[in-house]
Amino acid sequence: MKNLLLISLLLIASLFAFTDIDSNNNSVDNNKLYLTKTFKASSVKNVDVNTSGGGITVMGGATSEAKVEVYVGGSKRGRLSDSEVKKRLKKYNLIIRMNGNTLICKAERKDKSRSKNSKNALSISFKVYVPTKVATNLSTSSGGIKMAYLNGDLKFRTSGGGLDLEDLRGEVKGSTSGGGIKMVNCDDIVKVRTSGGGINARDCDGEINLSTSGGGIKLTNLNGNVEATTSGGGISVEDFTGDLNTYTTGGSIRMSGMNGNVKASTSGGGISASFERPGKYISLSTSAGSIDIDVPNSKGYDLDLSGNRVRMASSSNFSGTKKSGRVQGRLNGGGTTIKARTSSGSISFN
């Protein structure tokens, strides 16, 4: 009971490392609508957006008209007058046009040697409305990126904000160095990473690769082949089906409603794992905590458990070696391979 309480407390503490994704996601709400341009939607197959001082939003949908909205404000808080915006924009190249079937939106300083943080710098953000089936190439150095209802080859990156992703399909590849990641209903091939925040993924299906160096990871109702790693927080997994490979160097791991194969490891906390339908294997390891495993008692298992102390709820149908710190053998005739290792804690098998 004490071990379970300790694991819960460590996990809760580590999950506070999640970055508030919404707060750093997009600069649009703080800026004024400056310009709107429209294009024939059927002509748009690719979307290329680049800005060094604002956020990017791309929304897909069934529409006959593609639309670009440009929002402009000061790089500091507070709104600018229309005259001040026009004056400062003279120092920028603002491009919104079609090049073949590619919609190009670009904002950059004419004098690139000047600091983007100077007092006269602008925050220029784009909101783009296009058909669902497009490819994207989005880039910003100081703002968040929001994408929704898109299907295609989707690439995006930011150095200064969060990623807010919803209903994306296809090959999804993105990164941020300065914010968290929120992901809902993203399927197929997904690879996203952050160096400065947590990851929250829900209702996703496919080949999914998630990584962060600076926050916790929360996965809810994922299905597929998933790899999730963090160097700076705990990991929480609920209602999972498929193959999961996850590890952290700085927190605990809690998994519930698991169905399938799991490999999980941590260097800085305990592991709690509850399975509904185990797959072919379960592999759990920690260097600094205890491990609690809960599996259906009607199934068969091949066990290899090692820790300071190993406890089994029942051993009536067990054949093998059973010691205080090691259990090796078959339960209920054998079946799912379960390996668990801890260097400084106990193992509880239920």
The tens digit of pLDDT for each residue in 327-337 reads 999 999 999 99
d(CA 230, CA 245): 12
Q: Percentage of residues in the chain with pLDDT exceeding 90? A: 73
* Region of poorest pLDDT, from 7-21, 238-252, 312-326: 7-21
* Region of poorest pLDDT, from 28-42, 103-117, 275-289: 103-117
**Of 151, 150, 153, 199, nearest to 175 (Cα)?**
199
Take residue 119 and report the two structure tokens written for it. 């007092």
d(CA 33, CA 55): 13
Residue 6 has pLDDT above 60, yes or no: no
Average pLDDT over residues 89-110: 95
Average predicted confidence (pLDDT) for the chain? 89
- Contact between 104 and 98 (Cβ < 8 Å): yes
CB count in 10 Å sphere of residue 332: 15
Burial of 90 (0-12, 13-18, 19+ CB in 10 A): exposed
Average pLDDT over residues 24-40: 77
Residue 31 confidence (pLDDT): 81
pLDDT tens for residues 248-264? 998 999 999 999 999 99
Average pLDDT over residues 184-200: 96
Q: Which helix (H) or strand (E) holds 6?
A: helix 2-15
CB count in 10 Å sphere of residue 275: 22
* Region of poorest pLDDT, from 17-21, 251-255, 290-294, 296-300: 17-21
**Of 274, 279, 286, nearest to 337 (Cα)?**
279
- Contact between 67 and 24 (Cβ < 8 Å): no
**Of 289, 291, 286, 249, nearest to 274 (Cα)?**
291
d(CA 110, CA 4): 59
**Of 166, 202, 231, 174, nearest to 17 (Cα)?**
231
- Contact between 191 and 176 (Cβ < 8 Å): no
Average pLDDT over residues 38-49: 98
- Contact between 80 and 74 (Cβ < 8 Å): yes
- Contact between 148 and 59 (Cβ < 8 Å): yes
**Coil/strand/helix, residue 153:** strand
Average pLDDT over residues 268-293: 96
Average pLDDT over residues 316-327: 92
Q: Residue 148 forms beta bridges with which residues?
A: 59, 166
Strands (E), 7-79: 32-40, 46-51, 56-60, 65-74
- What residue segments make up the domains of the chain, in order of their start? 24-146
- Tell me the CA distances in angstroms from 3 to 7, 19, 292, one per residue in order: 6, 28, 8
Take residue 23 and report the two structure tokens written for it. 């707060």
Residue 114 has pLDDT above 70, yes or no: no
